[in-house]
Every structure is written in structure tokens, then in C-alpha cells.
């Protein structure tokens, strides 16, 4: 089964974290993926809509593409509950002392 080109493009962006659209297009061509400009733009738009990348114009003809880094938000109440459950579990074993 073939890997969709969108995944390949995202993998190439993810390898370097940030690059220009010109650099990305050259990388893809070098690896044998020849895309028309409209399909290339559509792939970038799809990835941006999915929230995986950001695309910002840096000059009239060049765009900067970056991977979006999502930080996982930790819930303090959930953390406390998890710690309490772990302590209760460990305390359930006879002869266990911490």
C-alpha cells in the first residue's frame, strides 16, 4: 500500500522542523516526487488546516513552513488522583513500607 504524499510531505517538514517552500519542493523533487504547484499548495493547506504546520509568507514568492509543537496540558487534579491511586495500590500489599 502506498503512503499518501501528504504524509511524505509532513515527514520531510518534520525532519527539519522549519524550512521554506522552495527548499521543501527541491527536497521532494530530489527524492522523485514531482508535484504540480497547485497540488503542492493544496497539500500545504491541508496540513495547515489539520493543525500540523504553520505557513507564513516571508517574501512575495517564498513561504516559511514550520511544524506546530503541541504541548500536552497536565491536569493537576488528575495527577493527584493518579498518585493517590498508586499509593493505595502499593499500600494494599502486606508488609510494604515506604
- Is 72 within the bounds of a domain? no
pLDDT surpasses 60 at 37: yes
Q: How confident is the model at residue 80 (pLDDT cuts 50, 70, 90)?
A: confident
Distance between CA atoms of 85 and 7, rounded to whole angstroms?
40
The two beta strands, 18-20 and 62-67, are antiparallel
- Is 37 within the bounds of a domain? yes
Count up the domains in the chain and report the number.
1
Q: Model confidence over 54-76: pLDDT tens digits?
A: 999 999 999 999 999 877 777 88
Distance between CA atoms of 29 and 22, rounded to whole angstroms?
11
pLDDT value of residue 31: 92
More confident residue, 92 or 42: 42
Distance between CA atoms of 9 and 64, rounded to whole angstroms?
14
Give the structural domain span for 36. Answer: 5-67
pLDDT surpasses 70 at 2: no
Residues 6+ apart with CB under 8 A from 77: none
- Is 75 within the bounds of a domain? no
pTM, to two decimals: 0.68
- Is 40 within the bounds of a domain? yes
CATH code of residue 29: 1.10.10
Amino acid at each position: 500500500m502506498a503512503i499518501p504524499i501528504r504524509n511524505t510531505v509532513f515527514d520531510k517538514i518534520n525532519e527539519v522542523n522549519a524550512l521554506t517552500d522552495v527548499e521543501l519542493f527541491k527536497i521532494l523533487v530530489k527524492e522523485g516526487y514531482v508535484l504540480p504547484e497547485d497540488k503542492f499548495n493544496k497539500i500545504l493547506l491541508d496540513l495547515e488546516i489539520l493543525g500540523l504546520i504553520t505557513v507564513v509568507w516571508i517574501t512575495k514568492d517564498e513561504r516559511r513552513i514550520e511544524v506546530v509543537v503541541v504541548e500536552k496540558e497536565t491536569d493537576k487534579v488528575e495527577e493527584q488522583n493518579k498518585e493517590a491511586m498508586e499509593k493505595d495500590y502499593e499500600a494494599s500489599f502486606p508488609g510494604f513500607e515506604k
